[in-house]
A and B are shown apart, each in its own frame.
Chain A
Amino acid sequence: MSNPTATPVSFGRRADRALADERMRAAIARGTGLMVQRRHEAVAELVNADELRDAASAIRAATLQRLPELLEQWSDNLGALGGQVHWATDADEATAIVAGIVRRRGGKVIAKGKSMISEEIHLNEVLERAGAEVVETDLGEFIQQLAGEPPSHIVAPAMHKDRFEVADLLSADRGAPVSPEIDDEAAYARRRLRQAFLDAGVGITGVNFAVASTGSICLVENEGNGRMCSSLPPTHIALMGLERIVADFAELDVMLNLLARSATGQALTVYTNIVTGPRRGDEIDGPEELHVVVLDGGRSAALDTRFSPALHCIRCGACLNVCPVYRQVGGHAYDSVYSGPIGAVLTPLLKPDDPAARELSEASSLCGACTEICPVRIPLHDLLLHLRHRDAREDASRLRRAGFWLWSQAWSRRWIFRAMVLVARAGLPLLRRMRHLPDVGWLGAWRRGRELP
């Protein structure tokens, strides 16, 4: 899959383009609005929502404190059950491991469940280059695969498309019309994907949480495709971020209680899969081989920094749904696997050498709606501000830096400030009357859509 908008342009440019797409914006406003409303209702059902969020936040912080120990315990337990754990430092290592397993285990068709890690490492491209046929079996991801686009939302990959666009994509795939009724669309996808499950030699899924005490992996979903991918093909490969682990089932309980409520407004997802090792001798289903690929991908470098709370994220997408910037421009404007506030924080941590990733901290008015809604209490808008403080000096244009320096010199002297007050009071009425102001700099940016004060 390639990103059609992936050209080296700024967030602002991509946002301008997104703002011109009224259809996408309507779909995003509708989708995020619905998810926020459902989330509020589902969290209101909890008598102790605040305490639960505090507990979840504390669990995530404690987990990161003893991450090596928990990962080792989990890996030992999974190994004892016959599962195989693979450690990948970066995307190249991770894709090579998966490609190696696929090559060895054979089977041309790969049935794939939803996995943000697979997007992060661009797995499909690698597997397809090696001759495999990868079928996305999550409905939203399937739609995105047909469209040739990356997901635009962590939880709802095709949120930006309305049902008519979906019908067009499905019709093209079918070679015959699929009506733009949700039921008809789902029925077509169900038939189409069922064959993929049956044909697949390898199933690939993500991991929501690994459980250290038992060596299990937990996978939540609503369509049953994750269960199919993890139990039907003879080989199951699960992809997981280094930080997605809990100590035991008591901790998992806290996390699951918040995850679905925050993501889709459900008390629990329709399917909660807990996979504890591959098929054992006396069992009638399950894969012969279970592989879990654990990706670092820049995460461990963020562990001992002030940005480590970003690794608390459980990928519920609630911060995207409440973000007023995301609401206007959608996910693709971020040109990153992870969009919205968490994407703006996470992307520059995972890609420290990418100036385009660092620019994302500017894609926020710092309104704090993300921090307010985060189930594990990541101070997202504070982290965005810290990123600006870390990067502003290095990345900003000389003009911008000089501008702030000059401003600070003037504003720290009362007599210059007073003079500026007089200039502003005299000058603004004149400026307002001028027909042809040069549309440059901040003045021009302000006047692009607004009158002067």
Chain B
Amino acid sequence: MRVQFFASCLVELLQPDVGTAAQRALGAAGHEPEALVGATCCGQPAYNAGYGAEARRVARRTLRALGDDDRPCVVASGSCATMMSHHWPELFEGTPEETAARRAARRIAELTAFMTTAGSDAAPDGGTGHDDHADVSDTSRAGGPTAVIVHDSCHALRELGAGATVRRALSDTGHVMVDADGGERCCGFGGSFSVKMPAVSVAMADEKLDSFVATGCEQVTSCDLSCLLHLQGRARRRGLGLRFDHVATLLNREP
């Protein structure tokens, strides 16, 4: 399928390889991704901090880049996909871009949600059934030390229902997974929360990291780079030997 592709500002700024990997994974699955030209950011950092006008100013840039198009737009971040698919309609409510924002919102799909539903009749709104979760994670405890720890980002888990699709996508490419305890608990990133409440944010990361270490596995993944950078930053400070890679990177890697 021909799709638009948006890597997210964080990926472009800090780990452009993730964007490349995501496009390669899409290509390997028979899709034709075309990167959005002129997009910057979905506006989430300002939106979650309470600055609507600033969020709109930035999001407008990306909304224009999405253009008048009817292809799905695949986003390599669960939280940006949530911002665009769930919060843009409200962000642009009462502005000239409202209709465009609503139309764009319907085309947004998080990477693994798209990859595991494309070709089916499911609308590419990022939402997929929770029912897939059980049959994937049932096998996970047998993974051994090379298994991948999947960190569910809150946006992906609660608003997109993408907890299952990250696992499904990894499972489809031969990866074995393990679930850490307290998997539904937030890692403590939370955008500006991580720097407004740094001590609480770090304490939340510590509990998460302890649960990762307890699995005996070292590879952590997620569909959100922001969570991973926060957890990785804390893990490095603590000298923990955990590795953090975006799910797009793992999809291109031999298990």
Residues of A within 8 A of B (CB): 11-12, 15-16, 19, 324-325, 327-329, 361-369, 371-372, 385, 387-393, 396, 401, 404-405, 407-409, 411-414, 417, 420-421, 424-425, 428, 442, 445-446, 448-453
Contact = CB atoms under 8 A, between A and B. Distances in A.
Closest A-B pairs by Cβ, 9 of them: A365-B190, A392-B50, A388-B50, A450-B233, A449-B202, A367-B186, A408-B54, A367-B154, A445-B195
Interface string B18-58: 00000000000000000000101100011111111111011
A445 B198 contact: yes
19 contacts: A325-B200, A328-B200, A329-B200, A362-B193, A364-B193, A365-B189, A365-B193, A367-B158, A391-B50, A407-B45, A408-B46, A409-B57, A411-B58, A414-B40, A424-B14, A425-B13, A445-B196, A450-B234, A453-B14
B197 A11 contact: yes
B188 A365 contact: yes
A12 B186 contact: no
Contacts of B47: 385
A412 B39 CA distance: 9
Contacts of A369: 154, 158, 184-186
B199 A449 contact: yes
Contacts of B213: none
B14 A449 contact: no
B58 A452 contact: no
A368 B153 CA distance: 11
Contacts of A329: 200
A365 B61 CA distance: 26
A407 B184 CA distance: 32
B199 A19 contact: yes
Interface string B146-179: 0000000010001100000000000000000000
A447 B170 CA distance: 32
A343 B159 CA distance: 23
Nearest to B154: A367
Contact of A389 (B52, B229, B232): B52
A411 B193 contact: no
A396 to B, nearest CB: 8
Secondary structure type dominating chain B contacts: helix
A286 B197 CA distance: 51
Interface of B: 9, 12-14, 38, 40-41, 45-55, 57-58, 60-61, 154, 158-159, 184-186, 188-191, 193-205, 207, 229-230, 232-234, 236-237
B200 A15 contact: yes
A414 B41 CA distance: 10
Nearest to B65: A414
Contacts of B234: 449-451
A392 B51 CA distance: 7
Most B CB contacts (10 A, CB to CB) among A363, A445, A452 go to A445
A391 to B, nearest CB: 7
A368 B58 contact: no
A325 B205 CA distance: 11
Contact of A448 (B58, B198, B204): B198
B13 A404 contact: no
Contacts of B233: 446, 450-453
A404 B45 CA distance: 9
Contact of A412 (B57, B158, B194): B57
Nearest to B39: A414
Contacts of B9: 411, 417
A209 to B, nearest CB: 29
A407 B197 contact: no
Given A12-B199, A417-B41, 4 more contacts: A15-B200, A324-B207, A367-B154, A451-B234
A53 to B, nearest CB: 16
B46 A424 contact: no
A453 B200 contact: no
Nearest to A449: B202
A19 B53 CA distance: 35
B62 to A, nearest CB: 9
Contacts of A16: 199
B222 to A, nearest CB: 14
Contacts of B159: 368
A44 B53 CA distance: 43
A32 to B, nearest CB: 11
Nearest to A362: B196
Contacts of A327: 185
